[in-house]
Amino acid sequence: MKGKTILKWISNCLSTLFIILLVCAVLIVISSRAAGGEPSLFGYQLKTVLSGSMEPEMPVGSIIFIQLAEKKETFKSGDVITFKTKDDILVTHRIIEVQDSGQRFITKGDNNNGPDVEPVLAQNVVGKYTGWTIPYLGYALHFVNTKQGAVLMLIIPGLLFLGHAIFTIWRTLRLIEVPKESNLKEE
């Protein structure tokens, strides 16, 4: 009897876990699509580190948290900012010099030999790095933002949940059939 109680408890935990996983996957995919491919969490955007220019603080494949910029002129030397280049590429580098009363910034990757060629205009700053980095999770986030990744993030948890539901129904039907067989033997 104790074994059945443990199995029932494990089954309930798995069901809850699958439901949570499915809901989280749906929320991640929907929020990243609604935000133009940029997932956000509690007001912070998540960015994937694609180059080693800020290593070792931000290893390639990490996720960094960016606080969206509201007052772009408040950045100072030493701040790490994410900005758009003239080619609409997002870059995260450290400010090494503030020019024109905070309207332009000279930036440099910590792992680069020299400063960036083009100064960053204040209106091109997307946000400020919060100091939070999650190593290696960026590879998964980058994959989720592809069409194949979005489909897999919805299909895999759904299939796991469906498989678990089928197993639970099968087990319940088996338990219902056992008493019927025992009633036939008694007659």
Question: Each residue's pLDDT tens digit in the chain (187 positions)?
Answer: 677 788 778 878 877 887 787 777 667 666 666 655 566 666 788 788 888 899 888 889 888 889 887 766 688 899 999 999 988 888 999 999 998 888 889 999 999 999 999 999 988 898 899 988 888 887 877 777 778 877 777 777 778 778 878 888 888 888 776 555 555 555 5
Domains of the chain: 1-37+145-168 (no CATH), 38-139 (2.10.109.10)
Report d(CA 76, CA 102) in Å as an integer: 8
| pLDDT at position 108 | 94
Which is it for strands 80-84 and 63-68: parallel, antiparallel or unpaired?
unpaired
CB of 125 closer than 8 Å to CB of 70: no
| pLDDT at position 32 | 62
- 160 φ, ψ to 5°? -60, -45
Find, among 166, 175, 87, the residue nearest to 124 by Cα. Answer: 87
- Helix (H, G, I), strand (E, B), or coil: what is residue 186? helix
| pLDDT at position 29 | 64
| pLDDT at position 1 | 60
Structure tokens at 6: 């443990």
- Catalytic member of 11, 31, 51, 101: 51
CB of 6 closer than 8 Å to CB of 14: no
Report d(CA 96, CA 120) in Å as an integer: 11
pTM of the entire structure?
A: 0.62
Catalytic residue status for 51: yes
Which is it for strands 125-134 and 104-108: parallel, antiparallel or unpaired?
unpaired
